[in-house]
């Protein structure tokens, strides 16, 4: 322990050499978040974690970032004419969805569905009860990832199908649909039948045609190699 310096002590008390103390390394609590932000900024889909990052923590950070980005899309959808009148129910084509953000699931207009979904997702993903640590995720916490991914994907698929003018530039900027698609495939969060956005509408590595699919698969394969080496 460093010496106690009392009132009236000489200056020497402040400058006397201290015995070295071992400092335990601190966990880097935000390592996964920072790694994901760097990967996204570099234009990568990054469905699999880097070495030493837990796969469930990586999925959690992906979903947190997606919620933040999707708030921008919802605002653009509203500006592009997604209103309670134009989109009276939440649907993608002929498929209609009930809003689960109520005591009992019920119909909501598409815009309300998106707002309710993002509010509920943000509350859950940032809950210190469900996710008390940024270094690990419990099995109960990980069990939320699939239903959350399903609802967030619906927000994207509705925009892609019914508000292409808002969706296309948003996807080019953020690659949210591409990232969620790659994440869902890498971790089994969604089935292929649930991935309704045409592949050609996904930006970047997950983009046009079979070449885009191969590029996304190559990135996931590279990520698996890195993960297995850790």
Lowest model confidence (mean pLDDT) among 22-31, 56-65, 169-178, 204-213: 204-213
Instruction: Give CA separation, 205 vs 70, 75, 172, 178, in Å.
Output: 20, 26, 11, 8
Q: What's this model's pTM, rounded to 2 decimal places?
A: 0.76
Q: For residues 50 and 215, give the distance between their C-alpha atoms in angstroms, rounded to a whole number.
A: 18
pLDDT at 23 over 70: no
Q: Please spell the DSSP secondary structure of 134-189, one letter per residue.
A: SS---HHHHTTHHHHHHHHHHHHHHHHHH-HHHHHHHHHHH-HHHHHHHHHHHHT-
List the domains of the chain with CATH numbers: 53-127+137-223 (1.20.140.30)
Q: Contact, 99 vs 106, CB < 8 A?
A: yes
The rounded mean pLDDT for the chain is 81
Task: Find, among 133, 147, 144, the residue nearest to 100 by Cα.
Answer: 147
pLDDT at 57 over 80: yes
Task: Find, among 143, 101, 134, the residue nearest to 90 by Cα.
Answer: 101
pLDDT band at 229 (very low <50, low <70, confident <90, very high): very low
For residue 212, the model assigns a pLDDT of: 37
Between residues 169 and 25, which one has the greater pLDDT? 169
* Residue 171 burial (10 A CB sphere; 0-12, 13-18, 19+): buried
């Amino acid at each position: 322990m460093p010496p106690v310096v009392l009132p009236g002590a000489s200056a020497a008390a402040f400058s006397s050499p201290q015995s070295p103390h071992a400092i335990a390394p601190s966990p880097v609590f935000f390592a996964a978040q920072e790694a994901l932000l760097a990967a996204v900024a570099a234009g990568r889909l990054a469905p699999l974690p880097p070495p030493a990052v837990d796969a469930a923590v990586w999925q959690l950070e992906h979903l947190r970032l997606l919620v933040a980005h999707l708030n921008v899309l919802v605002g653009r959808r509203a500006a592009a004419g997604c209103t309670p009148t134009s989109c009276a129910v939440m649907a993608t084509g002929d498929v209609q969805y009930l809003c689960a953000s109520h005591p009992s699931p019920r119909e909501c207009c598409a815009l309300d569905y998106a707002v309710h979904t993002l509010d509920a997702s943000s509350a859950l993903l940032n809950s210190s009860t469900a996710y008390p640590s940024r270094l690990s995720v419990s099995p109960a916490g990980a069990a939320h990832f699939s239903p959350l991914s399903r609802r967030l994907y619906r927000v994207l698929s509705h925009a892609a199908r019914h508000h292409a003018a808002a969706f296309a530039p948003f996807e080019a900027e953020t690659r949210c649909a591409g990232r969620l698609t790659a994440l869902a495939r890498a971790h089994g969060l969604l089935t292929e039948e649930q991935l309704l956005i045409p592949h050609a509408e996904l930006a970047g590595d997950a983009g046009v045609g079979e070449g885009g699919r191969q590029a996304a698969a190559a990135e996931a394969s590279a990520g698996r190699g890195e993960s297995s080496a850790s």
